[in-house]
Structure 1
Amino acid sequence: MREPAELVSTPRKMSMPEQSKTDVEKELQDLRREIVEARNLVIKSDNLLKNLHAEVKTVGKRHEDFQKRQWISSAVAYVLFAVIAVGAALMITSARSSSATNERERLEKMVADLTGQLEKQRADTAAHQTAQRSASEVYKMMTNLPGDERLKGIDALVKLDTSRLSSLERQALNDRASVLRRETGDAAFERGKIAFRKNEMQSVISEMERFLAMNPPQEQALDASFFLGTAYNQTRQHDKAVPLLARFVEGDKASKTRDYAMLLLAQSYQEVGQHEKALETARDAAGTYLNSQYQPQFRGRIATVKRLMNPEAAGAPAGAPAAAPAQVAT
């Protein structure tokens, strides 16, 4: 408490009771003021404590929220880490599985290719062995069979797949076939000429067809064409005679029998309805072979063809008779 205020003496004289009363009132006022101030301080302190309590409570709540968020963040982080770890493990496993699958597919493809190559080699080997056996049989047929039966070997050679054989084996077969063709062809050619001299045209056709089927040399082929064409002409197979006789006429212009072949060719042209070619052939023969013994037949053939080409012409001579077989030097 404050010390009592020092009393100041005044010139006015007061009584003791009044002076004591004044001092007490002052002290009471001072005391009252101090009490008010103390009360204000208490209220202020209480407000400060309340504010402090509120702030502490707010800080605690914030701390709890922070801890909660931290816990949630930790949980999320752990979950994300687990997801990433699982994803990485799956990716690694998938990559290894894909690599293993690719390697397996590559190995399976390699095995399939090798198996295919092996099967192909086996098939080629089997086909080659089969072709060799067939070639051996064909060669024996062309060598061991009697007479014309050896020609069966040539027919079998045509059907044989020689692509599986070596070049030496093919050459041996072809050489043997060529020799056999020459042998049998020459024999057939001679038999055909003998039949031609005997005027046995069916035998001529049979032998000469066989001879031409063996691909003879050009000179012999032309002679065979003449004999076969003449045989067809004499047997009235003019459609078959035309190409053979035309081949002989065009291919062997120095032959002694060319005039006779042209006479037969003109007749065959006429019989198949090719009148212009028949007339041209007959005129060519008549102009080329002026001293030929067939000049009357040439002129008769020309007249006959003209009459056929112009049936309304009057006074046409009678048709020329068919040409008789000539005696051909063989």
Structure 2
Amino acid sequence: MRELTIRLSALAPEAANALHVVAYFDRLVEHRAGSRSVLRGAAILSGCPAGFVDRTHGNSWRVLPDGTFTAPEPEAAHTWPRVAAGDGSLEMWLERAEPVEGGFDALVLERALLAAATMLGRTSDTPEQRRAGWIQALLADDPDDAARDAALRGLGLTATTPLCVVATADDTPLLASSIDDARTAIGAGRAGIGPIVPARAAAASWRQARSARRLTAEGTQQDPGDRVVLAEETGTLLVLAASIRPDETPPADVMALEDAAATTAWMLETLHAISTTNSVRDAASVLHLHHSTVQERAARADRVLGWNVLSQRGKQRAQLALVMRRILAAR
């Protein structure tokens, strides 16, 4: 779709714009976005404020072109481009005195209203699909109240039911009533576990679970670390995991680790053991080696990396570099 849009941009800009609008709202439907996300998309694409009313659920919103929601206008001007559902329960408009030529505003409104109507009225063929849809609606970044309440009812939860959300390796969310239940659901898999929160705040647990998953490792010699990470135990590292951009350039220490691991198979595993234990003997116990062997490995790591890996500062530096390596690998 992206390649086709690029080609059309050169040949027929209006057709490319139309295709972009259709694809944009189709993606929102595919990802089960809420009505607020759909309205925000309409405002961003059109470049003017957009309004929406859902008379069935009593919702009314207004969003600016930068995506900021504001108080709805007391009364929508009749001259603004608008579109409504057949029964009048849904209506959407753009706050523009004169519509854009070529029918662009009409296309944006029609596709946006279709997406909103689809999300509000969508049903699934199987119980599994219905449950997945309710979970997605509950965990949306900006779920509208009606969709979230419907999801809670469908899942048999109240707004205050305690739960945590698990982010699995393939980005599938799981709901659990306790950390122990979450661990059981994961089994031998790799995942991040969010904190226990009231069900109405499940989206917050989901966000933290996904950040925690970026801190997980395979638990192998070439990727040492925990396969399951609890968000509530990570502290500042969770902030670090959430803040790293997808295009972040690996820091020099991470590059040094990669170079060292490419020539020395035991390097990462040994550094992980040293940086997460209190002494060489403790690290040797974890690695099932004699402490003199670990001492020799540490001396070699010093020479290769350029810092003392047994000092307190050196341990912190190695541990942070290993964490950054996991976060960047999780992209």
Q: Same fold (TM over 0.5)?
A: no
Structure label with greater radius of gyration = 1
In the superposition, the TM-score normalised over structure 2's length comes to: 0.23
The structure in which a higher percent of residues are strand is 2
In the superposition, the TM-score normalised over structure 1's length comes to: 0.23
The structure in which a higher percent of residues are helix is 1
Q: Which has the higher contact order (CA 8 A, sep 6+)?
A: 2
